[in-house]
Chains A and B, each alone.
Chain A
Amino acid sequence: MTKGKFEATGGSFVVWKTAVVGTIRQPKAQNYDIDIVADLRRLPEHSLSDESLRAIHETIREIANIPPTCSEGPAENIRNNDVEQERNVLPPGSGEVLITLFAPKNRIDALLGDLAECFAEDVEVRGEQRAKLLYWARVTRSIGPLLWTKIKRAGWLAIVFEIGRRWIG
């Protein structure tokens, strides 16, 4: 739903922009169409027309990438809609690959499980985008100590290999 189409329904640009910004800040709010506008703009519910409310709702769904639960139906259903779409969000796979490469074999499962647990918690509290950023931050911070542990363990092997390589080369 573009700004122009929203305004054609009688909604103001300010309300539309507020709803979009509010979606980014509160992606998990259930009745977010009302909560966001009422909270951020201090507007009473009845000041919004049903058409404006439906347009806000569609925009938020598009941005949050949530499939519609009641695409046909009166705006009252949208106001009273408390169906929360369950989305199974997984941590980034490439982050798991890095941990698998650098972690000791007997700790990979536990490490990945801990990171996944933190990720799930962050998705609930902070939203998916921020959770992914935090996940990458955790992976990046963890690789250094894990790699150092591996180097310390294989230190003498690495030295022997280097000497042999130089001798041959």
Chain B
Amino acid sequence: MEELGMLEQRLMLAILRLQPAAYGVALQKELKLRAGREYSVGTIYAALDRLEANGLVKPKQGEATAERGGRAKLYFSLTAPGHAALQASLKVIDNLRANARPAPVLP
């Protein structure tokens, strides 16, 4: 299984935070709030498509609302392999950080 990219990792963490209400607009706002970067909905859905193709997330159709022009929301949740992949990816970062020495403070 290929490694998770930064966007995929962030998206999966955002899905965990927002569950069970993790859909396009909410994910976009969460990423802007937490990561300080506004991704386009196209970018987010392209990344979600890759994750779904790898079996890491699964979509579920939600309710339609008037402000969405009667179109239903599409909620995403992590699958069991998705949880495992995310944990493995975060563990790599933890391992790299564990023994990293802080930069020396010059006088």
Contacts and interface: CB of A to CB of B under 8 A. Distances in A.
A109 interface: yes
A113 interface: yes
Interface residues of A, number: 26
User: Taking chain B's interface residues, is the majority helix, strand, or loop, or is none over half, making it mixed?
Assistant: helix
B45 A103 contact: yes
Interface string A102-137: 011001011111111110110000000000000000
A111 B25 contact: no
Interface stretch (B63-71, B90-98, B99-107): B63-71
Given A104-B49, A149-B49, A114 B72 contact: no
B79 to A, nearest CB: 17
Given A138-B40, A141-B40, A111 B45 contact: yes
29 contacts: A103-B45, A107-B74, A109-B72, A110-B24, A110-B71, A110-B72, A111-B41, A112-B71, A113-B64, A113-B71, A113-B73, A114-B23, A114-B28, A114-B68, A115-B41, A116-B71, A117-B65, A117-B67, A118-B25, A141-B42, A142-B40, A142-B42, A142-B43, A142-B45, A145-B43, A146-B42, A146-B45, A149-B49, A149-B50
